[in-house]
């Protein structure tokens, strides 16, 4: 039987499929143990996965019902779900949904929500990109550590982008919060329209909100976008 470290075999046995709400029981452990436990912003905030999981479950539900989120399965090892790319589509008429999002959660959850609002307070991608009526948002990308470095993350992003184009989205957008994913999106011609730096935020607030060392080598977010319609 092929093991996860067998590169040639692994490429041959991976299957990439669209996810739906029925897959959430498999997706949730990956989000908790592979994404929230290793995502640099969470590490810099010393936020335990359990403290953020309820919020991500709500966001995950939106993505799972979007019809544009992808999963990677190891078909030799019991069709195990080993990677996910959660996505959603934002329409022009609902562009303020994130800014108006109401939620009463843990301090870590509320900080993350308010931080997103603060970072984007002066940004309107619909106004800034002529002709855009729908934006494809890459929300959360993660791969089981045993399978890392095998090209799974990039394949999930590529398939997601293809789906976004197929569905008629004019723009792709991501908050790339990991130095690895920042590299993936930059090599796919995504351009940074806004940067968020942990150390600069600490200076602005006059205190250590983010543990910069805990997030290293990632230093912050790269908010990136790419036109899907060639304009």
β-strand partners of 81: 73
Q: Residues 11-46: pLDDT tens digits?
A: 558 999 999 999 999 999 999 999 999 999 999 999
Helix, strand, coil tally for the chain in percent (to 5): 45, 25, 30
Q: Pick from 189, 175, 33: which is nearest to 115 by CA?
A: 175
32 in any annotated domain: yes
Token digits of residue 122: 């002066």
Q: Which two tokens stand for residue 206?
A: 């006059």
Task: Using the Cα atoms of residue 67, residue 137, residue 143 and residue 53 in order, give the sign of their dihedral.
Answer: negative
CA angle 11, 191, 67 (to 5 degrees): 55
Q: Is residue 134 part of a domain?
A: yes
Please name which of 64, 73, 87 lies closest in space to residue 166, comparing C-alpha atoms. 87
Asked whether the beta carbons of 52 and 100 are under 8 A apart, the reply is: no
Residue 1 counted as domain residue: no
3 state SS of 74: strand
Question: How many Cβ atoms sit within 10 Å of the Cβ of residue 135?
Answer: 22
Domain-embedded: residue 2: no
Please tell me the pTM assigned to this model: 0.91
Write down the pLDDT at residue 4. 53
Helices 179-187, 152-166: inter-axial angle, 10-degree rounding: 50
- Cα 212 to Cα 187: distance, rounded to the nearest angstrom: 25
Confirm whether 12 is domain-assigned. yes
- Which residues does the chain have with pLDDT short of 50? 8
What's the pLDDT score for residue 108?
Answer: 85
Cβ-based neighbour number of residue 220 at 10 Å? 22
Domain total of the chain: 1
Task: State the CATH number of the domain containing residue 102.
Answer: 3.40.630.30
**pLDDT tens for residues 68-78?**
999 999 988 88
Q: What is the pLDDT of residue 125?
A: 94
- Do 53 and 34 contact (CB within 8 A), yes or no? no
| Residue range of the domain that includes 94 | 7-227
């Amino acid at each position: 039987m092929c093991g996860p470290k067998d590169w040639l075999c692994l490429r041959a046995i991976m299957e990439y499929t669209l996810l739906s709400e029925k897959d959430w029981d498999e997706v949730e452990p990956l989000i908790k143990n592979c994404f929230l436990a290793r995502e640099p912003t969470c590490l810099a905030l010393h936020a335990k996965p359990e403290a953020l999981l309820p919020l991500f479950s709500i966001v995950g539900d939106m993505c799972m019902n979007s019809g544009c989120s992808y999963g990677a399965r190891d078909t030799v090892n019991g069709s195990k779900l080993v990677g996910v790319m959660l996505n959603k589509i934002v329409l022009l008429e609902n562009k303020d949904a994130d800014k108006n999002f109401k939620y009463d959660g843990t301090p870590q959850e509320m900080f993350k929500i308010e931080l997103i609002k603060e970072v984007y307070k002066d940004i309107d991608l619909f106004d800034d990109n002529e002709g855009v009526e729908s934006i494809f948002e890459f929300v959360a990308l993660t791969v089981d550590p045993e399978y890392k470095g095998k090209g799974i993350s990039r394949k999930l992003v590529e398939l997601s982008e293809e789906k976004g184009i197929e569905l008629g989205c004019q723009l792709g957008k991501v908050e790339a919060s990991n130095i690895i994913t920042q590299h993936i999106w930059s090599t796919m011609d995504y351009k940074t329209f806004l940067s968020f730096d942990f150390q600069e935020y600490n200076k602005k607030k006059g205190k250590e909100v983010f543990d910069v060392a805990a997030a290293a080598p990632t230093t912050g977010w790269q908010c990136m976008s790419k036109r899907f319609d060639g304009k």
